[in-house]
Amino acid sequence: MKAAFAEVFSDRFSGEIDKVVDAYRVMLRESLAKGDDTELQAALNRARLQEKILAGTSMVDQAQACELLGLSAANPSATMKRKEEKREILRFTVDGRAVYPLFQFDVEGRRIYPAMAKLIALTPRTWSGFRLLHWLTRPHLDFGAAPAERLGVEADAVIAAFEREIVPAEHG
């Protein structure tokens, strides 16, 4: 009972935080867009970029994700929360709802591509989920396509390219 209460409370609290963040983005975009504050402009630019990246990425909600994975849809929120806690999948919030980039799913295999967990584990602390999403969805010279498009056929090459991307620049 205690665990169920904690899970429900955690889900609701997380949902409320997501609503506050969404409202803040709207406020920045609508009422503060003309400010001269450079920090404010940087925050606004980040929010715009994030919205653009999310809008350009096919997403599925929690119930659809469970269906793609062949998992029970009785409680999709809890099911997907476990995947998130294991750091197997990228999750974003759009209009107050949890969504997942579709490219992470091996639809035929009814699983999340194993390379996703490796990429998430390798992601530097200084990188946000949006930055990883951006890297995965923009064209890459190694593949002639976005790394996300190669997860199922060249997973090792995608991971190697990401490892090169995150190595700090050394000048000497």
Predicted confidence (pLDDT) per residue in 112-143, tens digit: 999 999 999 999 999 999 999 999 999 999 99
Q: Answer whether residue 158 shows pLDDT above 70.
A: yes
pLDDT score, position 25: 73
Structure tokens at 1: 């009972």
For the chain, what is the largest distance between any 2 Cα atoms, rounded to a whole number of angstroms? 59
Q: Answer whether residue 6 shows pLDDT above 70.
A: no
Q: Where in 7-146 does DSSP place strands (E)?
A: 59-61, 92-94, 97-101, 105-106, 111-112
How many domains does the chain divide into?
A: 1
| Within-domain flag for 40 | yes
| Within-domain flag for 44 | yes
Structure tokens at 143: 């593949």
Tell me which of 41 and 108 has the higher pLDDT.
108
- Domain span holding position 42: 1-55
| Within-domain flag for 14 | yes
The pLDDT of 3-28, averaged and rounded, is 69
| Within-domain flag for 115 | no
pLDDT score, position 49: 84
Query: Which residues, in sequence order, are CB contacts of 63 under 8 Å at separation 6+?
Result: 73, 76
| Within-domain flag for 36 | yes
| Within-domain flag for 148 | no
The pLDDT of 137-157, averaged and rounded, is 95
| Within-domain flag for 38 | yes
Report the mean per-residue pLDDT for the chain.
Answer: 87
Residue 156 in 3-state DSSP?
A: helix
Residue type, 163: E
| Within-domain flag for 12 | yes
pLDDT score, position 61: 96
| Closest alpha carbon to 115 in 162, 65, 81 | 162
pLDDT score, position 168: 79
